[in-house]
Structure 1
Amino acid sequence: MRFDDIWIQGTGRYAGEPRPAPEQVTAHSGILSVATSGLAGPELAVRAGRQALHQAGPGAVGPHLHGSMAYPGLDIWSSSCWVADRLLAAAPAMSLQFSALCNTSVAGIETAASLLAGRPDFPRVLLTVGDRFPETAIDRFEVDPEIALGDAGAAAVLGRGSGLARVLSGVSRTDPSLEGLQRGDEPFRDRPADGPAIVRKRTRQFFAAGTRTPASVVRAHVEGVREVVETALAEAGTSIGEARWVVPPFVGANAFEHGYERPLGLDRERTLFEFGLRLGHLGGSDHLFALDHLLRDRTPEPGDRIVLIGVGGGFTFTCAVLEIPAWARSVR
């Protein structure tokens, strides 16, 4: 969908301290370190949300969307309302928990933009994401050969009229035939499993069933990425070559090359590939974290376009295209 007057008005990020990746992980994937924190996912989101709201300035917030992919710290509890209570002076119209797993940030931008486009009574939307991956719950280095998980929170405020970056378009698609990559043949349980989840084991179980091959999954991944990117770029009236920054998920070297760089013809210097190798894959926070880094630390120029490419287990694919406005220098 093309958006006419939807803006990123504030962003924020908070990451844990760097922890060196095991030598075998670095040798295979190029991942150097991961962010690790003792704070729970909602606490990480609050730290990022404060930055985003401060940058956006005073004003009412309509809905609040809070996303995560990891266990938030309690069962049968609203982490979104906990975050909202700590960030917002007035109660929002609604506070919702949502998750597109690793695609939560980009899917969240598209969802928030769609809410604003369809509900003129909503002044702004606050989007927060936060994930922590403690060793008791998951082995952060055994999720996938090309992924090592990092702990972080990220946030954005979306509104109308003006801002740091205009949302030009957002497109999503889903291929649910791939959901078994994270499920394998694990049974449904009455409570969380004892001990850390080893997601790579589930992937091996999925392929052992013989219904899909690794090559067919790679093809499906590339097809999903290409479809949302090409459609979102067309709706934004631009091309991948005109983008100043293209931001896929924070993954290892092989996944980056074969899943994004080659299929899309990316110039690695216009991505945040190296940046991600020092953080790890930040669960649902990758792209909002990256966006805050670009807006605060890389000083984009007026007219620069930013392409965010999200992929989440299930599998979901989302692409959002943003543009820096002509008055960018005065906004900062």
Structure 2
Amino acid sequence: MQTRKLGNEGLEVSALGLGTMMMPDNEESVDTIRGALELGITMFDTADLYGEEYGLQRFGGNERLLGRALKGRRDKAIIATKFGVTHTQGPKGDRAYIKKSVDASLYSLGVDYIDLYYQHRVDPNTEIEETVNTLAELVGQGKIRYIGLSEAPAEVIRRAHSVHPITAVETEYSLWSREVEDDILPLLKELGIGFVPYSPLGRGFLTGQIKSFDDLPEDDYRRYYPRFQGDNFAKNLEVVALIEQLAIQKGCKTSQLALAWLLAQGSNVVPIPGTKRLDRVQENLGALQITLSPEELARIEEISPKGIASGGRFASGI
């Protein structure tokens, strides 16, 4: 398995991780996580917010799943989880909330420490310096090893890093979500911070498997996202079709091409495609064997330039 370093503090992970957000709490998910570990994936991404109990306003469901799957295998895995998104109070990052959250996540995961602990969303009512100082205390106490931020703006990342080294920033990034190229990626390169793209396959759109809106199950959250609706869907499908043709010429899957493009964006980039199926994990790992030539990268840029996606990233209110 190819590995990559996140940040300058010593964290080394598999070049591809596994996002577990959408995994149902069942034995197939457990088998997929364990199978991914056997295939060489070491980085597993979750959050206290994730899990089937989300609608009941309970936390920790997905963490418990991950903890159960990794029981007896803890020393082989890098566990990344997040705090800071609440159902009723907005983002939280104050000292008391963090201390409560980390203990809850440790309990849900069934572990003694968390490898990478992200603030899920920046708290507008708490100075980032207070948040990071508290996280630094947790590093000193051995409860967490490394500090991360998720969907944080550039100026917040810089301020945070001046308090304690930030190991990784997690933000959406793919061939149809390239906003981070403006200021986030250059800053991370400057500061020596790793980058973890979530939704690297455009929430499944870049797999080439979604051909119509009706392909989405009736209870699928993506039905509420602008990019999957109406004219936006049709326009985005045209772009995916072009990427699919390039993948055919390359002799690979559309998803593999999309991941290979991400991996080519920097040695500090570690995508975390999510899936509940082990065969999809194996398919995604095929991206590590793909090398894109300068000409192919230029063609991808022509097909899918920054800003090509039609519609916003999130549904209203998210």
- Considering the TM-score relative to the shorter chain, is it more than 0.5? no
Structure with higher helix content: 2
TM-score, with length taken from structure 2: 0.29
Higher RCO (C-alpha 8 Å, min separation 6): 1
Structure with higher strand content: 1
TM-score, with length taken from structure 1: 0.28
